[in-house]
Amino acid sequence: MELEKPWRDLEKYIEGRIKEALYEAELALKFLEAGMYRNAAGKAFQAFKALLAALAARHRDTLATRHPGVKTTKGGRRVLYVDWLIAVMPTGQMLEVARDLAAAEGEELIHYANTALNLHEFQYIGLDKSGVLSRYTRLASVEDDVRALASYVAERAKSQAS
């Protein structure tokens, strides 16, 4: 089985992730307009994840010093951990990667990573008016975050594509 491989052609990988970020951000807004809040949240999260992976690939050397080691893929191939991290961009590592890139890409990256993770949680848990299970107690807050994250991703992705 072949995985996405930033270690084969880093520029094509970045190009693909930038396109993915733009498409996912657009879909997030379309789902939001249709009142499909959980789907919109999921798409906004995916858009940010794709953007973060592209930015991580652009700063591969910096990340390599902070994420050393080797990882064995599901196919049994051994790759540098940083390359696996860029290819997979696991949810549990997104905030740390955003922190690692913040100096080069802007401190707001950390804010938007947190927003993306909040929306990811909302996608699975939904709205919770008590505020116990979900960070969102009002749909207006979800809408604001989806719009803000989708706009940020689209703006950053367009700047990366040129």
CATH number at residue 71: 1.20.120.330
- How confident is the model over 138-151, as pLDDT tens digits? 999 999 999 999 99
Query: Does residue 68 belong to any structural domain of this protein?
Result: yes
Query: Does residue 82 belong to any structural domain of this protein?
Result: yes
Q: Which domain holds residue 157?
A: 10-161
Which stretch of DSSP H or E encloses residue 80? strand 78-80
Spatial distance between the Cα atoms of 119 and 146, rounded to a whole number of angstroms: 8
- How confident is the model over 28-38, as pLDDT tens digits? 999 999 999 99
Which stretch of DSSP H or E encloses residue 48? helix 37-58
Query: Does residue 95 belong to any structural domain of this protein?
Result: yes
- As given in the structure block, the two tokens for residue 117 are 């993770």
Query: Does residue 100 belong to any structural domain of this protein?
Result: yes
For all residues of the chain together, what is the average pLDDT? 92
Q: Poorest-confidence range of 8-12, 31-35, 78-82, 148-152?
A: 8-12
Rg (alpha carbons) of the chain, rounded to whole number:
16
Query: Does residue 21 belong to any structural domain of this protein?
Result: yes
pTM: 0.93
User: Does the structure show a pLDDT above 50 at 80?
Assistant: yes
The pLDDT, as a whole number, for residue 5 is: 72
Cα-based distances in Å from 158 to 37, 67, 116, 153:
25, 28, 19, 8
Count of domains forming the chain: 1
Query: Does residue 3 belong to any structural domain of this protein?
Result: no
58-62: Cβ within 8 A, 24+ apart:
58/14, 58/160, 59/100, 59/101, 59/104, 59/105, 60/6, 60/10, 60/86, 62/100, 62/101, 62/104
Whether 1 and 75 have beta carbons less than 8 Å apart is answered as yes
Mean pLDDT of 96-111: 97
User: Does the structure show a pLDDT above 90 at 134?
Assistant: no
Query: Does residue 1 belong to any structural domain of this protein?
Result: no
Which stretch of DSSP H or E encloses residue 78? strand 78-80
Query: Does residue 118 belong to any structural domain of this protein?
Result: yes
Share of the chain above pLDDT 70, in %: 96
Cα-based distances in Å from 45 to 71, 75, 79, 116:
25, 27, 26, 5
